[in-house]
Structure 1
């Protein structure tokens, strides 16, 4: 990992800890779903030597952030085995990660890097840059943000991509 990417990863880790997520730096085995990062017992484990894309930290943190607190501690890498949570899925995790990347002032290709999203990174990058916020309505339904121009959004409220809550209660 380049010194620049390591500094970026450490900045992201600092933000995630600041909002209340458990992030441990440790050595991880080869062959994990995403190189250098995994979800373990409701927190993130990060191996900076193996982490290829710092933006992956935000997406995986998004999975933790968009589920209710009571469920978060039970989460591990096998997300497909978790019970379905309304407004707590893949698209909401992606929207959460976008909001976090905006909050941190990151370039959109840090999150939507060409090595991820099963070949759909460029399309996601374009959608979010154009203000087509896939998953933001789920975050609003979960009480984590408000949507601009919606009748139920109070005047002066924090609107997406700003977040009212970083962690779902």
Structure 2
């Protein structure tokens, strides 16, 4: 991905071995990205209340060129794949806002802290929100966002992602037969694919009723 135009002031540059340049100390304004899908996704996610910052905080990230820092997304606009942006954003967006600050680098550590310290009544709405936060739910959520934004299927999930199972997972999502859809439906983000048969005005996956939990402590 190349930046078509840059208007950078007081920015810190760091060139990686891949040739990508990481920028810090610069606002989102001033960037016009050649990859319109990435820029559209950033704009949409920010409108949903997700904090997204340019520039990485660490060199070793779980996915290339993007990371989660205390519930905020930090990314390199030169090199980040829109598929990675959607997936990592899903981890944060599906987490109730009071707990997002615990998501930092090692997400499992943050998840463990939430489950060990928060009272979660069985079968409560909070229970289903947290159940939908698993990687399957995040994958389904990212797919729904991508479809909403008109991103091509092969850009939402690439063939070589998910350990080389990207194409298979993409097919399951296209057929509405992916396990992560169930978690989103139980958490009331959307209706099950067959709901429209017996329920008027059903909002069936990949359409969504909402993009993040409506939960307040």
Q: Shorter-chain TM-score: what band?
A: 0.7 to 0.9
Tell me the residue number matched to 1:35: 64
Aligned length: 167
Offset at residue 71 of structure 1 (A): 1.5
The structure with the larger Rg is 2
* C-alpha distance 40-154 of structure 1, shift in aligned 2 (>3 A): farther
Q: Secondary structure at the match of 2:203?
A: coil
Offset at residue 89 of structure 1 (A): 0.6
**Normalized per residue, which structure has more strand?**
2
Q: Secondary structure at the match of 2:131?
A: coil
Offset at residue 154 of structure 1 (A): 4.4
CA distance in 2, matches of 1:37, 1:6: 16
Offset at residue 91 of structure 1 (A): 0.4
| Residue correspondence of structure 1 range 12-161 to structure 2 within 5 A | 12-51=41-80, 53-81=81-109, 82-83=111-112, 85-150=130-195, 154-161=199-206
The higher-RCO structure (CA 8 Å, 6+ apart) is 1
Q: Secondary structure at the match of 1:73?
A: helix
Is contact 2:37-2:151 (8 Å) kept? no
CA distance in 2, matches of 1:10, 1:102: 15
Offset at residue 134 of structure 1 (A): 2.6
TM-score normalized with structure 2 length:
0.70
Offset at residue 149 of structure 1 (A): 2.6
Tell me the residue number matched to 2:212: 167
